[in-house]
Amino acid sequence: MQKNSNHACSTWRKSDWKGLARVIPVVIGVLFAGSAAVAGPAIGQFEVKNLNATPGEIEFQSQNAHMFGNPKRELRNVGGEFEYDDNSVAKQRHALELEFGISRRFKSRIGIEYEKERLDDPDNPDQVNEFSELDLSEIGAEIIWVVDPVEENKWGFGLVAEYEHPLEDEEASLLLVGPIFQIERNEWWSIINLYLVKHLGGDQPRDEKVDFAYATQFGFELNQDWQLALEAYGTVDRIGDTGSAGEEAQLFGDHNQHRLGPVFYYIGGLGGDPSDEESSVSIGVGLLFGINDNTPDTTLKWSVEVEF
């Protein structure tokens, strides 16, 4: 998600901080309550959420990723049966989403995701690194509360909550909550998303752990049409002793993933005029490089976003 120069014009009040103080303990309680399906690291779409909210605005988003140099899967023969690591690995991911501006303080999004993921339970060791067909894998929804809009002070703060529900009953759903920080200084900007990710449900025995995830973007406006950003995405698989680690996690451990790389964005009006304020299109293309052994070597990220 590239920088947007349209800022909300609201004033931050002491009562807003009091409301926030009441919300945070409830969220933490939900995330860490109860821990009882195989659960790899929660890997989201490679996008950065911002605080730009315009009432009545609708934005279509297509977020896409192709992974190359995927890590080889570990396996062990345990009592005559093969066990496989539960690292989250895919060849392709494609999300189609619609975002709605509710007010200058709230916006929401709904979407679907297609994924070509590694087989969860291969029939034999020869299939250990094979992938499924590209299929519709999940539906999701999110809400963003712009607590402190980006104004003259050039910084802002918000909260995001997202729910992702897989179409396979045996897989766990995900609840993501966390803060958004956004800073803008002339041609430079930075956005930081931090998440606690709660795994919910799935097959027995369940592992309702909590992961930590992040998405960051540090960018620069090259000119009216082009922007360059350095983006980083990662997940820490399991915070502390949350959840109930299954046999796979006990055998192979947890799998943190981290990516970093440059992304170019082209921004213009739908008719090719970047000054068109009624509608605009953003096209992003970049390469993210894995910086540990659990992460694919290279991720080709590309996106198309159209505002109406």
CA-based nearest residue to 116, from 145, 137, 87, 86 = 137
In contact, 110 and 145? CB cutoff 8 Å: no
pLDDT on residue 29: 46
Distances (CA, A) of 227 to 151, 220, 242, 283: 21, 6, 40, 10
Torsion 180-117-171-83 (CA) sign:
negative
Rounded Cα–Cα distance for residues 55 and 98 (Å) = 14
pLDDT on residue 36: 36
How is residue 94 written in tokens?
């494609």
pLDDT on residue 194: 99
Rounded Cα–Cα distance for residues 117 and 71 (Å) = 13
Torsion 179-187-220-54 (CA) sign:
positive
How is residue 256 written in tokens?
């943190």
Residues paired with residue 178 on neighbouring β-strands, in sequence order: 160
How is residue 74 written in tokens?
């570990």
Residue 10 CA, distance from chain mean position: 27
The CATH architecture of the domain made up of 14-307 is Beta Barrel (2.40)
Rounded Cα–Cα distance for residues 299 and 258 (Å) = 11
DSSP assignment string, 129-179: T-B---EEEEEEEEEEEEEE---TT-EEEEEEEEEEEESSTTSPEEEEEEE
In contact, 114 and 132? CB cutoff 8 Å: no
Neighbours of 196 (CB within 10 A): 19
Neighbours of 61 (CB within 10 A): 20
How is residue 247 written in tokens?
């046999």
Q: What is the pLDDT along the chain (308 residues), one digit of tens a residue?
A: 566 544 334 444 555 545 555 555 544 444 544 433 456 889 988 999 999 999 999 999 999 999 999 999 998 888 888 888 889 999 999 999 999 999 999 999 999 999 999 988 788 888 889 999 999 999 999 999 999 999 866 899 999 999 999 998 888 899 999 999 999 999 999 999 999 999 998 776 777 899 999 999 999 999 999 999 999 999 999 998 887 777 777 888 889 999 999 999 999 987 655 555 678 999 999 999 999 999 999 999 999 999 98
The predicted model scores a pTM of: 0.86
